[in-house]
Structure 1
């Protein structure tokens, strides 16, 4: 029972962190587009929230946090 609650909280936290990462990436990209020239924007294009890379970042970050936390 306690493990179920713990796992549920873990999944919820990873989802919340994924959303935070996505929001952070969107704002970063917007700031880069506003502040920097098009060359800089091209360089940051890999952080696009619509693209696969941002999804990878969003999924892998919470898992790394939890593995270090559990170890």
Structure 2
């Protein structure tokens, strides 16, 4: 039986380089992550007690990421 192999390493390196080039010089990954965290905090802010219990249940099941205690967005 013949084995067919095709190495995509060079293609993947070129693809990644093209993605970074398309993002441009103004792309700031730290700012992007900070904005994502702010949006996440806003999304889960102001939850009532039942909603917080549901969130905790889903986080314990691994469906949602766990939240850090004491975050401003976790306060009712």
TM-score range, shorter chain: 0.3 to 0.5
Structure number having the greater helix percentage = 1
Which one has a bigger Cα radius of gyration? Answer: 2
User: Structure 2-normalised TM-score?
Assistant: 0.35
